[in-house]
């Protein structure tokens, strides 16, 4: 029987294109990322909300991006979060921007500035909307992060700060001489204006410092008071206003990527992270509103009294305190950055939001 020899025929470009179309494309490699949380997993801003953010990203990327949440400061403490993410100890972190005034002169200044007047008239939705608008309109705002090799992706508001103290503070006069933990460039000045003596102290040192009398009180937000268990050693809370109190100029908490880790994501997955973060703005706000109420109720169950400065005390504080927005403006200007333009725009946006002229949500 005669054998038949088959001759190899070179494939043309058309044949190769057909083969490529029929052959399934390789799936993008799964990216395994680590999110570092310097606080407890139950901490609302950076723990509870982070879990929802992670879940939505994994769903939106159909599992192409997987994020492991490492909480409790096991990888990075709050005070070294920025440097740790820059050095890729983890791929993603969350931080209180005002902890880093040297590295983030715009964000840290605004996140650590409380205007007693405007801060008592605006709410967390407004503050978050202002944060997003300023970051969109002023390139140096995000640019200061990019210069450090990191990328901000999601901002979370903080309820108005209060002071949890070992002795009652019922009125402005009761602040006189009290040693109170503060942070950031301008919050200590607010306490000084109230008559207190501000002290710099890491969050992890607050409990024992209250317990041992190193400090008389600590400036922080109510959910942090609960997760830090400060109600066990301090039984008095005072809010910085007749209502919830004064808010900072921008949302203080930011989730951010190491730039190298970010660039490893496909363009499709980067877009998914941005969309999830944008879609979660209201979720973050509403979660923080609910968490503040729950935290105050929890503190009261522990026997902690919750008081508010009167409108008269707030008016007195506003008159005696320095112009914090002007201080913020000058501080940013001194770094060669557009402090005047940013603060002018902040005041415009705040006024429009308070009046109802601007309705971002």
Establish if 52 belongs to a structural domain.
yes
The set of residues, in sequence order, having a beta carbon less than 8 Å from that of 55 and lying 6+ positions away, is none
Domain that holds residue 44: 31-158+249-291
Residue 279 lies in a domain: yes
The answer on 49 and 129 residing in a single domain is yes
Q: Is residue 228 part of a domain?
A: yes
Residue 315 and residue 284 in one domain: no
Shared domain check, 307 and 285:
no
18 in any annotated domain = no
Could you tell me which residue, 322 or 353, shows the higher pLDDT? 353
Q: Please tell me whether residues 191 and 225 are part of one structural domain.
A: yes
In a domain, 10, yes or no: no
Same domain, 40 and 92: yes
Examine residue 311 and state whether it is found in any structural domain, yes or no: yes
Sign of CA dihedral 117, 120, 123, 128: positive
Q: Is residue 344 part of a domain?
A: yes
- Are 123 and 185 within one domain? no
pLDDT value, residue 285? 96
Is the predicted pLDDT of residue 163 greater than 50, yes or no? yes
Q: Tell me, what CATH number does 86's domain have?
A: 3.40.190.170
Q: Is residue 2 part of a domain?
A: no
The reported pLDDT for the residue numbered 185 is 77
**Who contacts 243 (Cβ-Cβ below 8 Å, separation ≥6)?**
120, 308
**Whether the Cβ atoms of residue 39 and residue 72 lie closer than 8 Å to each other:** yes
- Same domain, yes or no, for 50 and 124? yes
Say how many C-beta atoms besides its own lie within 10 A of residue 15's C-beta.
11
**Averaged pLDDT for residues 216-223:** 95
| Percent over 90 (pLDDT), the chain | 82
Pair (57, 118) in one structural domain: yes
Same domain, 315 and 269: no
* Portion of the chain with pLDDT greater than 70, in percent: 92
Q: How many domains does the chain have?
A: 2
255 membership: H or E segment, kind and range: strand 253-258
Residue 317 contacts residue 239 (beta carbons within 8 Å) = no
Overall average pLDDT of the 187-204 stretch: 92
Same domain, 193 and 241: yes
pLDDT tens-place string over residues 262-320: 999 999 999 999 999 999 999 999 999 999 999 999 999 999 999 999 999 989 988 88
From CA 46, how far away is CA 56, in angstroms rounded? Answer: 15
57-77, pLDDT tens digit by residue?
Answer: 999 999 999 999 999 999 999
Give the Å distances, CA to CA, from 182 to 118, 164, 203, 217, 311: 21, 12, 10, 9, 23
**232 and 121 housed in the same domain:** no
pLDDT in tens, 198-217: 999 999 999 999 999 999 99
Dig out the tokens for 248 from the structure.
């900072």
At residue 20 the predicted structure's pLDDT band, cuts being 50, 70 and 90, is: very low
State whether 43 and 190 are in the same domain.
no
């Amino acid at each position: 029987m005669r054998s038949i020899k088959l001759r190899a025929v070179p494939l043309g470009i058309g044949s190769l294109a057909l083969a490529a179309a029929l052959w399934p494309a390789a799936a993008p490699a799964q990216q395994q990322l680590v999110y570092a949380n310097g606080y407890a997993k139950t901490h609302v801003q950076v723990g509870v909300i982070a879990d929802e953010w992670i879940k939505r990203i994994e769903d939106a990327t159909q599992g192409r991006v997987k994020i492991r949440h490492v909480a409790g400061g096991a990888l990075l403490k709050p005070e070294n979060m920025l440097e740790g993410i820059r050095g890729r100890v983890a791929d993603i972190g969350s931080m209180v921007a005002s902890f880093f005034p040297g590295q983030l002169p715009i964000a840290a200044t605004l996140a650590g500035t409380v205007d007693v007047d405007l801060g008592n008239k605006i709410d967390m939705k407004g503050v978050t909307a202002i944060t997003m608008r300023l970051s969109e309109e002023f390139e140096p705002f995000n640019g200061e992060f990019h210069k450090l090799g990191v990328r901000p992706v999601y901002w979370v508001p903080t309820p108005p700060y209060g002071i949890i103290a070992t002795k009652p503070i019922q009125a402005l006069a009761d602040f006189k001489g009290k040693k109170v933990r503060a942070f950031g460039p301008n919050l200590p000045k607010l306490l000084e204006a109230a008559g207190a003596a501000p002290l710099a102290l890491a969050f992890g040192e607050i409990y024992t410092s209250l317990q041992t009398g190193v400090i008389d009180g600590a400036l922080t937000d109510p959910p942090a008071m609960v997760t830090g268990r400060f109600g066990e050693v301090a039984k008095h809370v005072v809010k910085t206003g007749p209502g919830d109190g004064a808010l900072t100029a921008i949302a203080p908490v930011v989730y951010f990527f190491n730039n190298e880790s970010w660039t490893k994501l496909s363009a499709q997955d980067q877009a998914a992270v941005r969309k999830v973060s944008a879609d979660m703005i209201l979720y973050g706000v509403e979660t923080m509103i609910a968490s503040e109420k729950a935290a105050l109720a929890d503190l009261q169950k522990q026997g902690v009294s919750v008081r508010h400065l009167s409108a008269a005390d707030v008016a007195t504080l506003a008159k005696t305190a320095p112009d914090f927005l002007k201080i913020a403006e000058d501080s940013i200007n001194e770094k060669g950055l557009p402090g005047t333009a940013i603060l002018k725009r902040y005041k415009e946006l705040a006024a429009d939001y308070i009046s109802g002229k601007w309705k971002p949500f």
